[in-house]
Chain A
Amino acid sequence: MKHLIPEFDRLRQRFPDTFASSLVLPCVRRIQEDRGYVADADIDELAAYLGVPRVQIEEVLSYYTMFRRKPIGRWHLQMCRNISCSMRGSERLLAHLERTLGIAAGETTADGRITLSTVECLGSCGTAPVLVVNETYHENMDAARIDALLKELD
């Protein structure tokens, strides 16, 4: 985490002085972006850097669905399974993905490239079904578009 400290110092400047604790979420996100997940050593270093109890960071990591403490595949595919996406076929597309990739939701392909998950409403219901690939929303998905997308992933 040490190489991120200059960036964290700049981020800290933007917040009021008494807001050190607020830095937990943005710093954790940045660490995860950088490393792919949050390591135990990162937790120690971040707690020390911000002066917050270590347990606060542990709690945050386990509470929010977007944070992870273990690496996943290079490509994280998240299929929305909430109401409007389900009504426009996301269950069918999830099954298609599971068959095509040979894994169940929650698992990673054997070559470590792709992790498949389900996710709740992403705020994209008008362009359902929606598939998120890493940070990017892929909207109006169907089987053909999924197949084309998979070909693009290295």
Chain B
Amino acid sequence: MAFEGVQMFSSTSVSLENEARATPLDDLENVVALYQPRVFRFLLATLRDRDAAENLTQETFLRAWSARASFREDCSLATWLIRIALNLARDHTRTGRFRFWKRVTASAVDVAEVAAFVPTQEGSAEAHLIAKQQVASIWETVAGLSARQRNIFLLRFMEEMEIPEIATVTGLPLGTVKSHLYRALAIIRAQHDFSPNNTTTHNATTKETE
């Protein structure tokens, strides 16, 4: 009986300890400063809507703060936050309202605006124009991918996450993640000829500049 009592006491104290356990999210200001750009970038590329991306970024941190006790540190805080953001984006895009407003919203991302941010590299102005066109084209192709392919592509190539990390974020098996990623890449390769003999883009750009 006494032993049971001791056991009960120890289990209670352990649960209290867990409740009072400090989490990295305790310093919310610092967490937001560190991860807000990353979460926002991902959501902006996924949703292609600035206002929705900002709202969901805020929602991500709010959810994370509310559920901070459940963060067991079995993955990095960034992975955990991106997982929350991904779930929110998924819920958001499921609603019919989003599909309607996506067509008419004023805060939708303009591809040309994104392409304007292509870093200026050493080389001709023509090469820079080609690069801009290529980026705009990839942006549009990514937008046309299925939600799962797009998310996995963005997690790999924008967030630079490793495949196992993407599997953790998406909750998908490694093989599924790989196959979605390969399909996304195949679509992008099919849409854009990256072969060295390709002159289509070059010709189009030179015509534009003329």
Say whether A associates with B.
no
By a beta-carbon cutoff of 8 Å, the part of chain A in contact with chain B is none
By a beta-carbon cutoff of 8 Å, the part of chain B in contact with chain A is none
